[in-house]
Amino acid sequence: MSFLKEFDSEIYELCEKELERQTNHLEMIASENFTLPAVMEAMGSVFTNKYAEGYPNKRYYGGCENADAVEQLAIDRAKKLFNCEYVNVQPHSGSQANGAVYAALIKAGDKILGMDLSHGGHLTHGSKPSFSGKNYQSFTYGVELDGRINYDRVLDIAKIVQPKIIVCGASAYAREIDFKKFREIADEVGAILFADIAHIAGLVCAGEHMSPFPYADVVTTTTHKTLAGPRGGMIMTNDEDIAKKINSAIFPGLQGGPLVHVIAAKAVGFKHNLSPEWKEYAKQVKKNAKVLAEVLIKRGYNVVSGGTDNHLVLVSFLDKDFSGKDADEALGNAGITVNKNTVPGETRSPFVTSGIRIGSPALTSRGMKEAEFELIANKIADVLDDINNTQLQAKIKEELVALAQKFVIYNQPTY
C-alpha cells in the first residue's frame, strides 16, 4: 500500500521515474550519493510535523521532548564522528551553514579570502553573485597550472589582502587539502580559519583525509555528499565562544524552525558513518577514484594535477577540440552522469567549460569496485575519443544499463 500512489499519482509516478533513472544511469557527479533507506524513513517521519525553534532543552514551543532527544543524538554522534566539541546540526544546507559562519564572526564589508570558484572553490566562498561576494569584500586564491594549491602563494595573497576570514575547502579539487598549512597562513595574518569540508567529510571522518581539527576555528559540511546522509548542512567548532555565536546566527539569525525530520535523518546517517564498514567504504571511494584517474591518463586524457587523493577526478579538455559541455552531453547519452567543470587555465565560459568533474562516491555506495571503475573509465574514454558518435553512445548506454542493474540501490521502493 502506498499512500503517495493513492493520494497523488502524478508525484508518485515521478518518484518511480526518478528511481528508474537513478537505477539505470551511472551516477558520477562527485557531490551526489545514495543514502540509506533508514535515512529516508527518518526524513519521512512524523518529526516533519514539529516546530522546535531554539536548541535542545531551550525551545520556544511545547512538546519538544522527542525533538530534543533527536537533536541531541545527532549532535553527540557528530561530535564523536569528527572529534570536536560543539556542533550545530540545524543548517538547512551547506550554503546556510557558510552564511551563518560569516554572520557570526564578521561584519558586512569585512574581507574574506577563499578559493576562486573557477579554480574549484564554491559560490559561498566569496563568489560575486553569491551573498558571500555581495555582503563582504571577497578576494580569491586559486590553483597553479599544475592544478595544485601553492601555499606560499596563498600566504602572499593573504598578506596583501589581510582578510578577517580565510576559507579553505573546495568543490572541484582532487588533492589533499593541507589544513595545517592554512592554519599557519591564517596565523601569519591574524585571520579566522574556516574550513568547508562538504566534499571530503566522508573521507575525513574515516581517517582517509587530513582532519581540519585542530587547525580550523570553524568547520562546515553538507551531510549528503561523501557522508551519504540526508540533504543538509552542519557547523562544528572547538571554541565555545564561536559555538555560541554560530548558534545565534543560525537561529534566530538566519533560520526559523529546524527541520527536525532531517535532523533525525542526519543522526541516522551519522550512525552509518560511525560504523566499521564506513571506513571500508571511504577507502574504496578513494581506490575507485584512483583507478578512474589512472585509466583516463593511460587513455591520453589530461587529468588535472595528474591524479587524485580523494573522491574526484577533474579532466581538462584544453588540449582537445571539444568542451566540457560536449563531453557532459555525450557521456549523458551513454548513460554516465557527470558535470561540466572549469579547469585551471580555463578559456571557455562557465556554461561551456573545458573540463568535466567525475566522482566515485555514488557508484561505490552501489557496491562497485576497481574492476567496474576500470571498465567504466574505459567506456568514458571510448565516448570521448569519438565524441560525435551517437551510435556508439547508444551502444555503450545499453551495456552500462546492464552493468548498473546488477548493482541494486534499493531492494524496495523507498518513496
Residues designated catalytic: 51, 53, 196, 222, 225, 231
Please say which residue, 54 or 355, places its beta carbon nearer to ligand DSN: 355
The answer to whether 375 and 43 have CB atoms below 8 angstroms apart is: no
Is 100 or 396 the residue whose CB approaches ligand DSN more closely?
A: 100
* Number of amino acids touching ligand DSN (CB under 6 A): 4
DSSP state, residue 191 = P
Please give the residues from 26 up to 55 whose contact with ligand DSN meets the rule CB under 6 A. 31
How far is CA 70 from each of CA 32, 43, 56, 76, rounded to the nearest angstrom?
25, 12, 9, 10
Which three cell numbers mark 299? Answer: 587513455
Site string for ligand DSN, 219-248 (x = CB under 6 A): ------------------------------
- Distance from C-alpha of 282 to C-alpha of 33, rounded to nearest angstrom: 13
Q: CB of 198 within 8 A of CB of 235? A: no
Cβ at position 358, least distance to ligand DSN in Å: 12
Helical segments of 198-350, H only: 201-204, 240-248, 260-273, 276-298, 324-333
* Shortest distance, position 130 Cβ to ligand DSN, whole Å: 11
Residues 289, 284: Cα–Cα separation, whole Å:
8
CB-nearer residue toward ligand DSN: 358 or 404: 358
Q: What's the residue count for the chain?
A: 415
* Cis omega (within 30 of 0) for bond into 129: no
> Quick check: 122 binds ligand DSN (CB under 6 A)?
yes
**CA-derived radius of gyration, the chain:** 21
CB contact burial 214-245 (16+ within 10 A = b; e otherwise) = ebbbbbbbbbbbbbbbbbbbbbbbbeeebbeb
Adjacent-strand bridge partners of 399: none
Give whole-number Cα distances, 47 to 76, 258, 385, in Å: 19, 10, 50
Taking the complex as a whole, how short is the minimal distance between the CB of residue 214 and ligand DSN, in angstroms? 26
Using the minimum distance from each CB to ligand DSN, give the nearer residue, 172 or 376.
172
Q: Coil, strand or helix: which one is 235?
A: strand
Residue with Cβ nearer ligand DSN (31 or 223): 31
Does residue number 119 form part of the binding site for ligand DSN (CB under 6 A)?
Answer: no
Determine the residue with CB nearest ligand DSN.
31
Q: By C-beta, is 97 or 265 nearer to ligand DSN?
A: 97
> Residues 262 to 291: which contact ligand DSN by CB under 6 A?
none
Q: What's the closest the beta carbon of residue 94 comes to ligand DSN, in angstroms? A: 6
Question: In the 8-state DSSP scheme, what is residue 352?
Answer: T
Minimum distance from CB of 31 to ligand DSN (Å)?
3
**Region of 264 on the Ramachandran plot (φ > 0 left; ψ -120 to 50 alpha; else beta):** alpha
Binding track, positions 161-180, relative to ligand DSN; x by CB under 6 A:
----------x---------
Sign of CA dihedral 275, 279, 285, 291: negative
Q: How far is the CB of 378 from ligand DSN (least distance, A)?
A: 25
With respect to ligand DSN, which residue has the nearer C-beta, 286 or 357? 357
Give the list of residues 6+ apart from residue 272 with CB closer than 8 angstroms, or none. Answer: 36, 38, 39, 228, 229, 278
Q: Which lies closer to ligand DSN via its Cβ, residue 183 or residue 357? A: 357
Which 328-387 positions form the footprint of ligand DSN (CB under 6 A)?
none
Q: Does 302 engage in binding with ligand DSN (CB under 6 A)?
A: no
Closest CA to 154 of 164, 145, 167: 167
For the window 74-113, what string marks contact with ligand DSN as x by the rule CB under 6 A? --------------------x-------------------
C-beta of 290: minimal distance to ligand DSN in Å? 20
Could you tell me if 318 and 354 are in contact, meaning their C-beta atoms sit under 8 angstroms apart?
Answer: yes
Whole-number minimum distance, CB 161 to ligand DSN, in Å? 24
Q: Which residues bind ligand DSN (CB under 6 A)?
A: 31, 94, 122, 171
